[in-house]
Amino acid sequence: QQQVKQSPQSLIVQKGGISIINCAYENTAFDYFPWYQQFPGKGPALLIAIRPDVSEKKEGRFTISFNKSAKQFSLHIMDSQPGDSATYFCAAPQDDKIIFGKGTRLHILP
Amino acid sequence: DGGITQSPKYLFRKEGQNVTLSCEQNLNHDAMYWYRQDPGQGLRLIYYSQIVNDFQKGDIAEGYSVSREKKESFPLTVTSAQKNPTAFYLCATHPLTENQPQHFGDGTRLSIL
């Protein structure tokens, strides 16, 4: 099974700082890379997604960067806020399933 | 996600007991999925279904069973054969069109009494 490797496992950032979460994948057949945000006791919700024919996508304070040659994509959260404290998952489709990274627990210090 | 309803929110299981988790959707999505979430383990796929009356095993199907009698419903039974059932269970749907995300319910937390 193809894997999606996510790092770091946990991350602490000062309010106003930049949070960076990285993912690496093995299969170049992937064509859609979503990021999910999950708050405690809730299901994951789509945060932002990118296709591999685009190198970067920005939505507000959230940016996905995609490096096809390195098979890596990353999530940047600019001006991180305490409300961004959550668990973040990267994912990639494989056939009729979606493969998830193991998640990054982000904590923003007030 | 308002379109996916999981119930109950909390569930307790006694030794040797089977319990069933409900997942209902009104998104008209073809595919439905069950995941198990443990701390530090991410989301692990238990079962999934792309069409009524058909389903496939995921990575950790042992000790679980499902049915898909209606497009809107995909219940998960945690059987007594599942020796470590304590976890957060998530149901998801997908429209089976390209470049679309999965949608998740708000989960059921199952614990052993």
Chain B positions touching A45 (Cβ under 8 A) are: 1, 104
Q: Give pLDDT, residue A2.
A: 63
Q: Give pLDDT, residue A67.
A: 87
> How many percent of chain B have pLDDT more than 70?
98
**Average pLDDT over all residues of chain A:** 91
> How many percent of chain B have pLDDT more than 90?
80
Check A97 against B45: CB less than 8 A apart: yes
Taking residues B42-55, report their average pLDDT: 95
Structural element, H or E, at residue A66: strand A62-67
Taking residues B3-26, report their average pLDDT: 94
Residue B38 in contact with partner chain A when CB distance is under 8 A:
no
What are the start-end ranges of the E strands in B1-113?
A: 4-7, 10-13, 19-25, 31-38, 42-51, 54-57, 64-66, 76-78, 87-94, 103-104, 108-112
- Which of A91, A96, A98 is the closest to B50 by Cβ? A96
Structural element, H or E, at residue A73: strand A72-77
Greater confidence, B97 or A83? A83
Q: Give pLDDT, residue B90.
A: 98
User: Burial level of A60, CB count in 10 A (0-12/13-18/19+)?
Assistant: exposed
Cis peptide leading into residue B95 (ω within 30°):
no
Q: Give pLDDT, residue B2.
A: 55
Residue of B94, B102, B109 for testing the chain A interface, max A β-carbons within 10 Å: B102
Residue B1: pLDDT above 60?
no
Dist. CA A52–CA A67, nearest whole Å: 8
Task: Give residue-wise pLDDT tens across range A23-49.
Answer: 998 875 667 889 999 999 999 999 999
Dist. CA B93–CA A46, nearest whole Å: 13
Chain B positions touching A51 (Cβ under 8 A) are: 99
Taking residues B75-100, report their average pLDDT: 92
